[in-house]
């Protein structure tokens, strides 16, 4: 079993309130969850209306699949029209039983 985690920091440029930010973050989370079959949640900066920190997890049987899927998500977020990718941290590790 291989577990991958991805933490991304996004700047929500057009957000003028927490409501604006939540709308954008919900859209991003739904689109990524449906497109990549991942677990995703906002994990930090919930009270800052122009900053979103998302945690993403993926479990599979091959490290290559996990790494390439998480890299595709990063690339997808680089081209988001409203949220700007500030930085990301990607980790992939095998768990042995």
pLDDT below 50 — which residues of the chain? Answer: none
Residues 33, 41: Cα–Cα separation, whole Å? 10
For residue 55, the model assigns a pLDDT of: 96
- E strand or H helix at 73, and its extent? helix 63-78
For residue 39, the model assigns a pLDDT of: 93
CATH match of 2-94 with 3.50.50.60: no
- Domain assignments of the chain as residue spans, ordered by start: 2-94
Q: Residues near 43 by Cβ (< 8 Å), separated by ≥ 6?
A: 7, 53, 54, 55
């Amino acid at each position: 079993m291989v577990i991958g985690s991805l933490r991304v920091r996004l700047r929500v440029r057009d957000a003028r309130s927490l409501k604006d930010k939540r709308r954008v973050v919900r859209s991003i989370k739904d689109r990524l969850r449906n497109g990549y079959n991942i677990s995703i949640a906002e994990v930090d900066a919930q009270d800052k209306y122009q900053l979103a920190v998302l945690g993403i997890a993926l479990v599979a049987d091959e490290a290559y699949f996990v790494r390439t899927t998480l890299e595709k998500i990063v690339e997808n977020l680089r081209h988001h029209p409203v949220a700007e990718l500030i930085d990301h941290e990607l980790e992939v590790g095998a768990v042995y039983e």
